[in-house]
Amino acid sequence: MFELAFATQDMDRPVLAPPGVPKARVEELRAAFDATMRDPAFIEEAKHQNLDMNRVSGDAVAAIIAKAYAMPPAVIDAARELMGGSAGE
């Protein structure tokens, strides 16, 4: 239940695409994101703005989301209630 509730923290601030995006396009987007996260000018600007940069790979984000969707309904309901929602929403 807590794993589900805190999944968003594990992902930090993900960049997501809708379902059905072709695999080649996803790979291109991930490569561009990774290149940006390694770019010295980008890193310097983030430091200048006092932004924390905690890169989480696209594969890691996909695994977190897949695990969350595979949770049993009872766990999802309990996590929803823990976070202030109503069970069965």
Tens of pLDDT, residue by residue over 17-72, are 898 999 999 999 999 999 999 999 999 999 999 998 888 888 888 898 888 889 89
Cβ atoms of residues 8 and 62 within 8 Å: no
CA 46 to chain centre: 19
**Overall pTM > 0.75:** no
Q: What ranges do the domains of the chain cover?
A: 2-11+19-82
Q: Where are the beta strands (DSSP E) in 25-70?
A: none
The residues, ordered by sequence, that sit 6+ positions from 57 with a Cβ below 8 Å of its Cβ are 30, 34
The residues, ordered by sequence, that sit 6+ positions from 88 with a Cβ below 8 Å of its Cβ are 77
- For residue 88, pLDDT beyond 70: no
